[in-house]
Structure 1
Amino acid sequence: MREHEAIHADIDERGVATVTIDRPEKRNALDPRMIVALRHTVERVAEARQVRVIVLTGAGAAFCAGMDVGVDAACSEEELITSVAELIASVDQAGVPTIARVAGPAMGGGLGLAAVCDVVVASTDARFGIPELRLGLAPAVVSLYAARRLGRSVVRSWALTAEHVPAAEAHRVGLVDVLCAPGELDDRIKALVDAMLRTAPQAARTVKRFLAAQGGPSGDDIRSAVSMSSAVTAGTEAGLGMTAFRSKQAPPWVPRE
């Protein structure tokens, strides 16, 4: 049973679960309800006894453009950011192997979702970024998880420039494991799934539990990130950034030419 019309999971006869963010008209940006639904879907699928692999993907020409900042949340900043942290943690701690299938943009929370998958497969037209600072927001939660994969120096650079990073560069620094032409994306995914299905399922779950306990952000780290991000989101700059975004104008801190 779906919790949200834009989040769905399909499980084939081999135990391969494809979890899809299906909102292509918004580049699969996540609104507050979608965040909760996606977390619940990932958790439900990962706990299903017949599931052996999860492929996380986006419909259409995008993986996930991050948060839908054009939607007014019916919750506090802290509740929303906590929800994002819980979503990323659910993918990070999934008890079966996970593959991110990335085409098009994977921004902000979308980058965070990809970064915590076991294998990231991206087409050459994919692009990545941590753009929150352009909107007066703070990418603390995403940065915590991304730093584990990329290292602190890369995350600092990406967060503080807020630039879009081509797939080739993301591959060079280790965010992308497999880089391929757009037409080869599904074939590469199939080859990886086939390889994972040749592993012993219970042993794979045991190894996943072991790896999930190694080196992830601590509870204190996550609480600190949520608190800092919430404070920034509630600040004046975030309000100005959101207003500028919705009106398709540059925010006031961008130098005029």
Structure 2
Amino acid sequence: MAQPLLIEHAGPVLRLRLNRPQLHNAFDAGLIAALTAALHAAGVDDAVRAVVLAGEGPSFSAGADLQWMRGMAAASQDANRADALELARLMRTLDELPKPTIARVQGPAFGGGVGLVACCDIAIGAPQARFGLTEVRLGLLPAVISPYVVAAIGPRQARRWFATGEAFDADTALRLGLLHQVVAAEDLDQAVAAQLALLDRAAPRAAAAAKALVRDAAPGADATAQDRANADLIARLRVSAEGQEGLAAFLEKRPPAWAGPRE
């Protein structure tokens, strides 16, 4: 069986590549655990100066694996809470990693994939990249990733995109602040390399501490309490009637009960 995460050390750069291309690099428990462990290791490795997060194949990440979610929808609320906390731990680890991080977004990112992009310090995308916070279509919400997405695009924009589930293109992501730069697909690696060169010129401890400086300057709720509250929310939604109906409708390729007729 292929490893869900490819790990490559290239000098001071750690490259992490989501490796479930046949499922558009969707999360399951194995990928979440592997990515969290790799990030923890990078955080304490003095040889690592920067981390590049990418996706294998045409997609960056489709978010949660729907078959995995189907299994979790049949589980208890407590089991869903524990599961959601693991995803919250991944996002928190990436967001607070004491190393600069770059998201290389070559293709679509949805749901939790948007969360990964928002958690990275620098995000560079190709025109082919598309984004969406589509959880409402399943009767769910982007609860666990919400602190990072709201920080990236702002509350006003988040209210729209969270509520509608509408997909948006790379240029819109750039305008919203989710991406820092959009370049042609063939120039993506060069753009990432340019940012790595700038980071290489920065003092390692200063570059690593930059995100903590920004985080500490912004008022916010207690991180642990926030993660628990968001995990409770997504657990309740997954086992709710709307969550069950939304997921069933998606898998059965039909409109959910609350949706109007399609044009």
Per the shorter chain, which TM-score range? over 0.9
User: What is the alpha-carbon distance in structure 1 between the residues aligned to residue 28 and residue 155 of structure 2?
Assistant: 28
Q: Percent identity?
A: 33
Measure how far apart 1:238 and its partner are.
Answer: 0.9
Cα RMSD for the two superposed structures? 1.7
Measure how far apart 1:214 and its partner are.
Answer: 4.0
The one of 71, 90, 94 equivalent to 1:91 is: 94
- CA displacement, residues 176-211 of structure 1 (integer Å, 9 cap, x when unaligned): 101111111111011111111111112223334433
The one of 60, 63, 69 equivalent to 2:66 is: 69
User: What is the alpha-carbon distance in structure 1 between the residues aligned to residue 91 and residue 237 of structure 2?
Assistant: 20
Q: Report the 3-state secondary structure (helix = DSSP H, G, I; strand = E; otherwise coil) of the residue aligned with 2:66.
A: coil
Is it true that 1:247 corresponds to 2:258 in the alignment?
no
Is it true that 1:53 corresponds to 2:54 in the alignment?
no
Asked if the contact 1:145/1:217 (under 8 Å) is kept, the reply is no
Q: Which residue is 2:242 aligned to?
A: 237
Q: Report the 3-state secondary structure (helix = DSSP H, G, I; strand = E; otherwise coil) of the residue aligned with 1:140.
A: coil
Asked if the contact 1:144/1:217 (under 8 Å) is kept, the reply is no
User: What is the alpha-carbon distance in structure 1 between the residues aligned to residue 207 and residue 169 of structure 2?
Assistant: 32
Q: Report the 3-state secondary structure (helix = DSSP H, G, I; strand = E; otherwise coil) of the residue aligned with 1:104.
A: coil
Asked if the contact 1:57/1:101 (under 8 Å) is kept, the reply is yes
User: What is the alpha-carbon distance in structure 2 between the residues aligned to residue 177 and residue 207 of structure 1?
Assistant: 17
Measure how far apart 1:94 and its partner are.
Answer: 0.7
Q: Which residue is 1:204 aligned to?
A: 207
Measure how far apart 1:221 and its partner are.
Answer: 2.5
Q: Which residue is 2:136 aligned to?
A: 133
Q: Which is helix-richer, 1 or 2?
A: 2
Measure how far apart 1:5 and its partner are.
Answer: 1.0
Q: Which residue is 1:40 aligned to?
A: 37
Aligned length: 253
- CA displacement, residues 109-154 of structure 1 (integer Å, 9 cap, x when unaligned): 1101100111100001101111001011121121221111111111
Aligned AA for 1:61?
Answer: P
Structure 2 stretches lacking a partner, 5+ long: none
Is it true that 1:218 corresponds to 2:222 in the alignment?
yes
Measure how far apart 1:212 and its partner are.
Answer: 4.3
Measure how far apart 1:249 and its partner are.
Answer: 2.0
Aligned AA for 1:48?
Answer: D
Structure 1 stretches lacking a partner, 5+ long: none
User: What is the alpha-carbon distance in structure 2 between the residues aligned to residue 207 and residue 132 of structure 1?
Assistant: 32
Normalised to the residue count of structure 2, the TM-score between the two structures is 0.91
Q: Report the 3-state secondary structure (helix = DSSP H, G, I; strand = E; otherwise coil) of the residue aligned with 2:141.
A: coil
Q: Which residue is 2:21 aligned to?
A: 24
Aligned AA for 1:158?
Answer: W
Asked if the contact 2:102/2:120 (under 8 Å) is kept, the reply is yes
Normalised to the residue count of structure 1, the TM-score between the two structures is 0.93
